[in-house]
Structure 1
Amino acid sequence: MALRAQQFAQAEQIATGILKSNRTDRHAALLFAHALMGQNRGGEAIAPLERVARRGDDAEVETLLGALLCGAGRVTDGIAQLRRTAARRPPYFPSFQELAGQLAKAGQYYEAIGAIEAGLALAPDSVDLKLDLGRMLHNVNQIARALSVLQSAHDAAPGRPDVLTQLGRVLIVHGDYAAAADAFRRVLALYPDDRSIRAHLATSLFEQGERDAAEAALRAVIRGQPQLLGRAVVVMASGSHGRFFFSQTDAAKFLGGQSG
């Protein structure tokens, strides 16, 4: 309950008390790790997790350990740990996702794609793995493949906002602006206050030539959040049917915001 309430210091205290009486209690070690991560001290949880991991196969513990090793700058050790965990059977699919994420952070994008594809070979219907693969393919500009994978994920889970968001972003690059705008509108129906999604919608609308609707979307982005003016100005200036202002003050006046 303390962890869910983001009372990380209290969660750490509880976990520490349990670990004092049983240094290899897996639940306490996991709680301790998450509590420290909430305080940006995840590296301090490596030793307790290593003690638990040495007791036997525990994919959840091993995956978190690999992530913390990478976060502590021990990237080679962390990736090696994640590779071992991803090789275990039965598979623990979060280990494939964590491995891919860490490989991508290390600049090994195609190895990251390979890690997700290995997971999908074992679970071809996994929407989460398809979403991750779509993101990574987008990052390496393999737009046609990304679109195919994400459309498959959307067909399997048509209401998932994370899938719709990533699909919309890829549709923009693909040039299908109407479909992208539809995807973003569906996300906004669930999360009307999501300003990032509204900015993506504005991009789609500008590219369709719907300048008034796009500018209205950008005004909603910065309403009450003047620090987002820069994002709005970039969206407005980069659109093929957008506007460019030489002065941030003029852009702020046009959008009804405040100059920085």
Structure 2
Amino acid sequence: MRITVSAGARVFRAYLPRVPILRSSTLVLVALVGWRSARAQAPIAAQLQHAVRLMDAGDWQKAEQTLQVVLRAHPNDADALNLLGVATVKQGRVDEAEAIFRKATKSNPSLPAAWLNLAQLYEQRDDKEHGLQTLQEGLSHAPHDPRLLSETATLLADRGQFAEAVRRLQAVPSAARFSDYWELLGRVYLSNSDFAKAEEALLRALHGKPESVTMLRQLTGIALKRGDTARAWQYVARALRLAPNSPELLYEYAQVSLQNKLSSEAVLAMRKALLMEPDRPDFLFFLGDALLDTSDFHEALPYFRRYVELRPDDPRGHLSLGWALFLEKSFPEARQHLEETLRLDAKQADAWYHLGMIAYETNDSEKALEFLTHALEVDPGHARAHWGLGMVYSREGRYEKSRDEFEAAAHLDPDEPKVHYQLSQVYARLGESERARSELRLYQEAQKKSDERIKLSQRLPSGVRGGQPRP
């Protein structure tokens, strides 16, 4: 059974994975824990132990025969009834088992295992309402049993009653709050988008299970949701060290690396992931996208080409391939894919922008103005379209118009060096020497920051310098 993670909790693609909620995995385990904790009468203890050994060995028929012998002498022994119910279920007689578990709860209402097993039968029939009622009835007789509290919390969380689920978990005695408890509590908080408390609980759970990849992935997603990309990288890098050959983890590591401006790390991780799953579309697309952020941008082409082959109706693939081809100055083929992008989705402002820049590069100012204007009609905040119009107007000697477009681009994207450079040139041509010098200083500052970002993208993350394995 899974707790449903709200849409808000699914932060960045694969993060915050939906994982099975912590619960008693089978009827047998619940039964054994239940009877062993009970104070069985001495004369029948040996027979119950023998039945348990048979159940451990999977010999359900002989276990049933042994338990029937016990019950002939002690027809209301709750431990024997509970174990008989398990053996009956395992032999496919579910309706009969329900009656046996009910009898066990009446014989000893304080036996948690009988209530748990009965509730689980109802859940297997997809009757969660009846299952929840059964657990709550069990809690009325054993209010501090950690298993009953945890199972009840799980079903309440499934119903979206997160506050009530947390209340049940907080009633678990401190002595029973082991790693599984904190993991369950963290997932309930996570489902309710309470990321601070979810992180706190999962970190406590991780202390008891330091090699839990699942919890590290959950913590990665929480850190991303809270905007802490550095901490997210630490979590996912730690998970990857534990499972270095997991394609999913490599993908997640690459995504977080790119958010931390570690383009080279992202590329390395995706290359390894593609060795394992060479035709997975999302891997191909992401690697191409990551390569566009590096000096090896020309290597993105084969990945985008393969993506388009696999997903010919996805406008993103044609758009990215068109942009990569534009960077290679393969204008005719780039134009073909950009036009296909717009055929699939006419609202792709980037496609109109790239077509405008192809027209600019091929000295077709009329078409360039048409396409770039259309890009701004689709997306008025498209900084690069303003920059492109500025370039067209500047080449035509229309410096006032050029200035207006470059100023709009600088307002929308003040960190782009080339905008400030072009503004400095236009101001100089318009005789505004002081503003030209000011823009030239801004260009130099922005270019310095851009160079630093490029170096940052190629550096080794601090966690790698210590000799830890890389993708």
Kindly indicate whether the alpha-carbon contact (under 8 Å) linking 2:251 and 2:270 is maintained by their aligned counterparts in 1. no
- Tell me what 1:49 maps to: 67
Q: CA deviation at 1:52?
A: 1.5
Q: CA deviation at 1:66?
A: 0.9
The structure 1 residue matched to 2:221, chosen from 203, 218, 235, is 203
Alignment gaps of 5+ in structure 2: 1-42, 260-265, 278-471
Q: CA deviation at 1:207?
A: 2.4
- Confirm or deny that 1:190 pairs with 2:216: no
Kindly indicate whether the alpha-carbon contact (under 8 Å) linking 2:110 and 2:142 is maintained by their aligned counterparts in 1. no
Amino acid at match of 1:152: A
Kindly indicate whether the alpha-carbon contact (under 8 Å) linking 1:43 and 1:71 is maintained by their aligned counterparts in 2. no
Q: CA deviation at 1:189?
A: 1.6
Pair 29,175 (structure 1): closer, same or farther in 2 beyond 3 Å? same
The structure 1 residue matched to 2:97, chosen from 78, 98, 111, is 78
Pair 219,58 (structure 1): closer, same or farther in 2 beyond 3 Å? farther
CA RMSD across the alignment: 3.4
- Tell me what 1:5 maps to: none
Pair 235,107 (structure 1): closer, same or farther in 2 beyond 3 Å? farther
Kindly indicate whether the alpha-carbon contact (under 8 Å) linking 1:52 and 1:61 is maintained by their aligned counterparts in 2. yes
The structure 2 residue matched to 1:220, chosen from 232, 238, 246, is 238
- Tell me what 2:111 maps to: 92
Q: CA deviation at 1:188?
A: 1.5
1:84-116 superposed Cα distances (whole Å, 9 cap, x missing partner): 111224532221122222222222211111111
Kindly indicate whether the alpha-carbon contact (under 8 Å) linking 1:229 and 1:252 is maintained by their aligned counterparts in 2. no
Q: CA deviation at 1:45?
A: 1.9
Segment drifting more, 58-67 vs 171-180: 58-67
Pair 32,202 (structure 1): closer, same or farther in 2 beyond 3 Å? farther
Kindly indicate whether the alpha-carbon contact (under 8 Å) linking 2:181 and 2:205 is maintained by their aligned counterparts in 1. no
- Tell me what 1:6 maps to: none
C-alpha distance in structure 1 between counterparts of 2:220 and 2:206, whole Å: 12
> Which of these two proteins has the greater Rg computed from alpha carbons?
2
- Tell me what 1:117 maps to: 136
Pair 199,67 (structure 1): closer, same or farther in 2 beyond 3 Å? farther
1:195-249 superposed Cα distances (whole Å, 9 cap, x missing partner): 333233223223223333234323333435356544x479789x9xx98xxxxxx
- Tell me what 1:181 maps to: 199
- Confirm or deny that 1:144 pairs with 2:160: no
Amino acid at match of 1:187: A
C-alpha distance in structure 1 between counterparts of 2:119 and 2:132, whole Å: 7
C-alpha distance in structure 2 between counterparts of 1:173 and 1:75, whole Å: 33
- Tell me what 2:288 maps to: none
C-alpha distance in structure 1 between counterparts of 2:220 and 2:187, whole Å: 12
1:8-29 superposed Cα distances (whole Å, 9 cap, x missing partner): xxxxxxxxxxxxxxxxx74444
Kindly indicate whether the alpha-carbon contact (under 8 Å) linking 1:198 and 1:221 is maintained by their aligned counterparts in 2. yes
- Tell me what 2:269 maps to: 253
1:132-156 superposed Cα distances (whole Å, 9 cap, x missing partner): 21012123333232122223337x5
- Kindly tell me the number of residue pairs found equivalent between the two proteins: 226
Kindly indicate whether the alpha-carbon contact (under 8 Å) linking 2:213 and 2:242 is maintained by their aligned counterparts in 1. no
Alignment gaps of 5+ in structure 1: 1-24, 244-249
SS, match of residue 70 in structure 2:
helix
The structure 1 residue matched to 2:82, chosen from 63, 67, 78, is 63
Pair 92,203 (structure 1): closer, same or farther in 2 beyond 3 Å? same
- Tell me what 2:378 maps to: none
Kindly indicate whether the alpha-carbon contact (under 8 Å) linking 2:78 and 2:108 is maintained by their aligned counterparts in 1. no
Kindly indicate whether the alpha-carbon contact (under 8 Å) linking 1:53 and 1:61 is maintained by their aligned counterparts in 2. yes
Q: TM-score, normalised by structure 2?
A: 0.42
